[in-house]
Amino acid sequence: MAGRLKGKVAVVTAAGAGIGRAIAEAFVAEGATVYATDLNRDALEGIAKAKKSKLDVLNDKAVAKFAEKVGTIDILVNAAGFVHHGSILECDDKAWDFSFDLNVKSMHRMTKAFLPGMLTAGKGSIVNIASGAGSVRGIPNRYVYGATKAAVIGLTKAIAADFIKKGVRANAICPGTIQSPSLDQRIADQAKASGQTLEAVRQAFIDRQPMGRLGKAEEIAMLAVYLGSDEASYTTGQIHLADGGFAL
């Protein structure tokens, strides 16, 4: 199929790399007008035909100003996030506050800014990137990350329930471990901290995937295309696992 998002306007956060970038590129390929945003504007280069903007999703005023400039949209993809490693014993107040601000409150900010336009139009799809870690499955050393992603699922379901009769849908995608620049950096950090080789740390990530491989950002992007499209018009308030069997 082609043109699945033709005529739709979409905003994607954290589109500079990884899942966010793959979603932005897939949306463009399917015919959407895409506003690709990232804290690092230069990282957005190469996303053909996308409208590129620097956006700090931690800044209320910046988000409100951006939403005012863009106007009414059909699809909002909240992909910005951060993975904190460690148990409760390694999570200080700074790590807790930052994780919740970026992983959860940024979605609150973006949704609150764009939802009124969707309600006026009587239609819209919100796609939030959650995780297989959190309320789906407890993962060692992902204490605050899991807490934030569980909150994302709760936030998504609440939005879906509140506006289910007003044409606005909200769904969460829960990826497994996805190959991305973020993962590469986390592997490097863990190898340095533990004294293990990069290969050993990477293999540990692979070994916990029942399929025996890491996921691809493009595999998550195609699920986002579905949820943003009219094909998913009867789907809202759900978690969608794309995890290679991680939650089995």
The per-residue pLDDT for 190 is 87
- Chain segment 62-89, per-residue pLDDT in tens: 999 999 999 999 999 999 999 999 999 9
Q: Give domain status of residue 134, yes or no.
A: yes
pTM: predicted TM-score of the whole model, two decimal places? 0.94
Active site residues: 145
Q: Are 126 and 168 in contact (CB under 8 A)?
A: yes
The per-residue pLDDT for 116 is 98
Domain total in the chain:
2
Q: Sheet harboring 75-78: ordered strands across?
A: 51-54, 33-38, 9-12, 75-78, 124-129, 168-175, 239-242
For 86, the domain range is 9-178+216-242
* Ramachandran angles phi, psi of 220, nearest 5°: -75, -40
Q: Give domain status of residue 87, yes or no.
A: yes
Residues 25 and 128 in one domain: yes
CA dist list (Å): 167 to 108, 162, 199: 19, 11, 48
The per-residue pLDDT for 186 is 86
Residues 227 and 209 in one domain: no
Residues 98 and 186 in one domain: no
Mean pLDDT of 195-215: 91
Q: Give domain status of residue 247, yes or no.
A: no
Residues 84 and 189 in one domain: no
Residues with Cβ within 8 Å of residue 44, at least 6 apart in sequence: 15, 16, 36, 37, 38, 50, 52, 53
Residues 124 and 42 in one domain: yes
Residues 70 and 193 in one domain: no
Residues 122 and 207 in one domain: no
Residues 23 and 135 in one domain: yes
Residues 91 and 75 in one domain: yes
| Buried residues in 144-181 as b, exposed as e (16+ CB within 10 A) | bbbbbbbbbbebbbebbeebeeeebbbbbbbbbbbbbe
Residues 71 and 113 in one domain: yes
Mean pLDDT of 229-236: 98
Q: Give domain status of residue 149, yes or no.
A: yes
The per-residue pLDDT for 1 is 58
The per-residue pLDDT for 193 is 86
- Chain segment 145-175, per-residue pLDDT in tens: 999 999 999 999 999 999 999 999 999 999 9
Q: Give domain status of residue 23, yes or no.
A: yes
Residues 27 and 103 in one domain: yes
Q: Give domain status of residue 35, yes or no.
A: yes
Residues 184 and 158 in one domain: no
pLDDT over 90 for what percent of the chain?
87
Q: Within a 10 A sphere around the Cβ of 102, how many other Cβ atoms?
A: 19
CA dist list (Å): 245 to 147, 205, 206, 214: 21, 14, 12, 11
